[in-house]
Amino acid sequence: MTWERYIKEFLGFLKVEKGLSENTVEAYQRDVLKLYEFAIQRKLNVEQLRYEDLLAFMTELYDLGIGARSQARILSGVRQFFQFLHYNDYLQDLPTSLVESPSIGRKLPDVLELDEINAMMYAIDLSKNEGQRNRAIMETLYSCGLRVSELINLKFEHLFPQEGFLRVIGKGNKERLVPMNQYVADEINTYLTATRNHQNIKPGNEAYVFLNRRGSALTRVMIFTIIKQLAEDAGITKNVSPHTLRHSFATHLLEGGANLRAIQELLGHESISTTEIYTHLDQSYLKDTIMSFHPRNKKS
């Protein structure tokens, strides 16, 4: 078969069989297309690719200035592609089996203090039509620890304010229940009453909770823009994104004594190792903890 046919079947497998989101499938597609472009330039079909070719591919990524973390992600997507081909008997060998991922360090995102989160909330101009919507977005991201994709896809059928939880559709269409505190419920209700219920909504967008001025569902880019602008307005110099609020949510829970497994469930992580990255504690907190609770440090 041709490269195009292999890639089409692979993407179909990811979407239908594995149930991955559209954004995730598109990310895999970008990774495999980089390998496709490399192979086409050298007039190599899929079956002809060998270990040495993949090493040359990784070297080219490096020469193009692509960072180690991005190289590792691309290689991960390529590995998935070849595993799919091998599993379906399109290939006998896996040329990726001996290719090592580039070494990358764990770069931990910034954590916001509660005062900084409150400063971002206070920076919102409630005199503007989108003001209350942005307050509801901020509170939902921080208090519930949602991913951007989970926020923009939040629908009314996912809200259970009386019972105090949200039903979240996460990666791979996996569902989880996340507690919704009264702050979140109040901010969303105020947004609905003050703004959302008075909008002209475009057909097909009625089910979404958060809308733009034109009555359509919000995009990932718009959420990033909103959060970055609020951080700037609040005078915060840290690198702030929607993910920063999710990371802060997890870190504050751990600092408050929450169980790591419980945080894993709230974040929707399959692996506890992923949760450990999100819930990194700074050295000052660790020092305060050991000085307060270790028996050798307690005064008699």
Strand order in the sheet with 175-179: 159-160, 165-169, 175-179
- Rounded to the nearest 10 degrees, the angle between the axes of helix 260-267 and helix 242-255 is 160
Q: Which long-range contacts (CB under 8 A, 24 or more apart) does 52-60 make?
A: 53/95, 54/78, 54/95, 54/96, 54/99, 55/99, 58/99, 58/102
List CB contacts of 282: < 8 A, sequence separation 6 or more: 111
Active site residues: 147, 171, 243, 246, 269, 278
Question: Contact at 8 Å (CB) between 94 and 86?
Answer: yes
Angle formed by the axes of helices 51-63 and 22-41, nearest 10°:
100
- Cα–Cα distances in angstroms (integers) from residue 143 to residues 66, 139, 140, 214, 283, in the given order: 35, 6, 5, 27, 24
